[in-house]
Amino acid sequence: MSLAYGKRLGPYEIISTLGAGGMGEVYRARDAKLNRDVAIKVLLPAVANDPDRLARFSREAQVLASLNHPNIAHIHGLEESSGLTALVMELVDGEDLAQRISRGPIPLDEALPIARQIAEALEAAHDHAIIHRDLKPANIKVRPDGTVKVLDFGLAKAIGQGSGIGDQGSVNAATSPTLSIHATQAGIILGTAAYMSPEQARGKFVDKRTDIWALGCVLFEMLTGRRAFAGDDATDTIVAVISKDPDWSELPSSTPVTLRKLLRRCLEKDPKRRLDSAAAIRIEIDEAIVTPSVDMPATRPSSTSNWPRLLPWAITIATVIGAAALLWRGQQSQALTPIYASLGVPPDTVLGEDDFLASLPTRTPMVFTPDGKSLIIQAARAGKPQLFIRSLDRPDARLIAGTDNARVPFVSPDGKWVGFWAAHELKKVPIEGGTATTITPLVAALGPFGATWGPNDVIVFGDQASGGLMRISASGGTPVPITTVPSFLSLRQHVSPFFLPDGERVLFSDVHLGDATQSRIMIQRLSGGDAKEVVASASDGRFVP
């Protein structure tokens, strides 16, 4: 039933009609108690008159009301009056994204901030175990000040209540509080066809990855002015969603490589291959915002005075990117495209160290775990370094307990232990955190110049005191030298040891502290003999399979 102007629902007075949705009609109303305008959505009788569905909807509405985020339209509560049940929501002024797109493609510098705010809204919802399931331009409003508000979590459902892809069974129409769009014998299809994920279009259970797909569709449409998947009717559109790819040539030529890659990962038809984190999308969009060129990131001039301090970081970053690129090449047969990513450190920390130790050789503040899926990161908070583990498929890093004042991280070949230097001792701790075990005390005040853990449970480190490489059992003992330098006056230091796969040979850098052109990359056998030169005028070598 339609509500006339002046009709009252409790303290709310109807002002005008705003539209209709899958759950009922929407009105602009005045809140007499708080003297503000709100949006009132009167629920359809199919929901309001079914005690079980209404009770479940009420529970989910309580969860949705907990979403206190600037990019999500707030739910104020439920109101029952005159036999009607209504959802009271924040009233958002401004045009919706569908109206904006109808005027043509949105420029990149305008579209990216919008997409970023949508990702932030989804991130907040997913953190509360809520999925939207009907994200589309019509459910996204852009206020005059540029603030984005995601509306109508009417199809949202608390994750964990039978919504996981791994769950078996079919959707129960009798208990779904938001059924109203399409139905088939095989299952209930919730959402809008052009923005459904393939699993959603098939009537299967969905999780937060269905929102990732929808955001990819919305971003594609913002940039091109065209839907990623379209058809003459809903059936044709669903066929396109399930079996076709977007026309990638529609993207503007100015679209950065990072953004093209992001769109493809959002629109993977197999949810197992799709991005599963709104936070990851936000980070990629941040990267695209600061990457003005399609092919290469911008090059910024650096201060000459900062170059000696920046050089070790440049070497570290180049090493990590190079290793990752080669590993990726080994797993993929198709042509590669560059990947630019930003990995943030934990809040209130700085990467590595903020004192003179950061300028010492091989103070690499991060190292991959052997499986290549995580980074061990050294980050300092209030001058105290600690170790964190950051899985590459997650937006956050976790503190490894027992690593206070830890420096020079390295990882055991089985990925179960993290070694480090702290309090003038070489130590190890389980990668999940715990009580650190001392491997050996180190007399040198500045600690090792790099360390590596071999497959035979042997650790090799660069000894600052002697200048050479030392070996020791991971279970403890007395360090034994495996290389020596001629003398202190030679200005040579053996640093950055790195075990080769055979566990017998170690790659390392013979660094000349006075003339970098005299540095070289060497190989030394644990069993003895002379070291062999691999590359002249070079340092910081790493073996990549």
* pLDDT band (50, 70, 90) for residue 338: low
Closest CA to 505 of 449, 438, 458, 539: 458
Q: What is the pLDDT of residue 57?
A: 66
Question: Reading across the β-sheet that carries 140-142, which strands appear in turn?
Answer: 95-96, 140-142, 148-150
Q: Single out the catalytic residue among 96, 127, 134, 245.
A: 134
Length of the chain: 545
Q: What is the pLDDT of residue 293?
A: 44
Q: Report, as an integer, the average pLDDT of 335-353.
A: 68
DSSP at 36: E
Cα distances (angstroms) measured from residue 9 to each of 42, 96, 360: 10, 26, 70
8 φ, ψ to 5°?
Answer: -115, 135
Percent of the chain with pLDDT over 90: 38
Closest CA to 195 of 183, 212, 174, 171: 212
DSSP 341-388: ---PPPTT-EES-SSGGGGSTT---EEE-TTSSEEEEEEEETTEEEEE
Q: With 90 as the cut, is the pLDDT of residue 428 above it?
A: yes
Dihedral sign from CA coordinates of 430, 435, 438, 443:
positive
- Intrachain domains 95-289 and 306-536 with the same fold: no
CB 359 within 8 A of CB 353: no
CB 476 within 8 A of CB 431: no
Using alpha carbons only, give the angle 270, 273, 274 rounded to the nearest 5 degrees: 85
Closest CA to 155 of 47, 2, 278, 29: 47
Q: Report, as an integer, the average pLDDT of 127-133.
A: 86
Q: What is the pLDDT of residue 302?
A: 39
Lowest mean pLDDT among 51-60, 213-222, 421-430, 487-496: 51-60
8-90, CATH topology level: Phosphorylase Kinase; domain 1 (3.30.200)
Domain extents in the chain: 8-90, 95-289, 306-536
Q: What is the pLDDT of residue 191?
A: 55
3-state helix, strand, coil in the chain (%, to 5): 25, 25, 45
pTM: 0.51
DSSP at 1: -
Q: Report, as an integer, the average pLDDT of 356-377.
A: 74
* pLDDT band (50, 70, 90) for residue 128: confident
DSSP 103-170: T-PPPHHHHHHHHHHHHHHHHHHHHTTEE-S---GGGEEE-TTS-EEE--GGG-EETTSS-STT--S-
The residue with greater pLDDT, 310 or 54, is 54
Query: What CATH code is assigned to 306-536?
Result: 2.120.10.30
Q: What is the pLDDT of residue 400?
A: 94
Closest CA to 44 of 179, 153, 145, 211: 179
Which residues make beta-bridge pairs with 377? 366, 388
521-525, long-range: CB within 8 Å, 24+ apart, which pairs?
522/494, 524/469, 524/482, 524/483
C-alpha–C-alpha distance, residues 187 and 200, integer Å: 10
CB 508 within 8 A of CB 497: yes
CB 497 within 8 A of CB 476: no
Q: What is the pLDDT of residue 179?
A: 31
C-alpha–C-alpha distance, residues 329 and 268, integer Å: 20
H/E run at residue 471: strand 469-473
Using alpha carbons only, give the angle 255, 260, 264 rounded to the nearest 5 degrees: 155
CB 349 within 8 A of CB 383: no
Structure tokens that stand for 478 in this block: 């007395």
Q: With 50 as the cut, is the pLDDT of residue 330 above it?
A: no
* pLDDT band (50, 70, 90) for residue 45: confident
In single-letter form, the type of residue at position 396 comes to D
Q: What is the pLDDT of residue 337?
A: 60
C-alpha–C-alpha distance, residues 26 and 21, integer Å: 7
CATH class assigned to 95-289: mainly alpha
Q: With 90 as the cut, is the pLDDT of residue 394 above it?
A: no
* pLDDT band (50, 70, 90) for residue 536: very high
Q: With 60 as the cut, is the pLDDT of residue 169 above it?
A: no
Q: Report, as an integer, the average pLDDT of 7-21.
A: 84
Phi-psi region of 514 (alpha: psi -120 to 50; beta: other; left: phi over 0): alpha
Closest CA to 405 of 419, 378, 384, 379: 384
* pLDDT band (50, 70, 90) for residue 217: very high
Residues in CB range of 232: below 8 A, 6 or more apart: none
For every residue of 244-284, which 3-state class applies, written as one string? CCCCHHHCCCCCCHHHHHHHHHHCCCCCCCCCCCHHHHHHH
pLDDT tens-digit map of 282-317: 988 887 776 544 443 333 333 333 434 444 444 444
Q: What is the pLDDT of residue 294?
A: 42
Phi-psi region of 267 (alpha: psi -120 to 50; beta: other; left: phi over 0): alpha
- For the question of residue 354 being annotated catalytic, the response is no
C-alpha–C-alpha distance, residues 413 and 474, integer Å: 11
H/E run at residue 59: helix 51-65
* pLDDT band (50, 70, 90) for residue 335: low
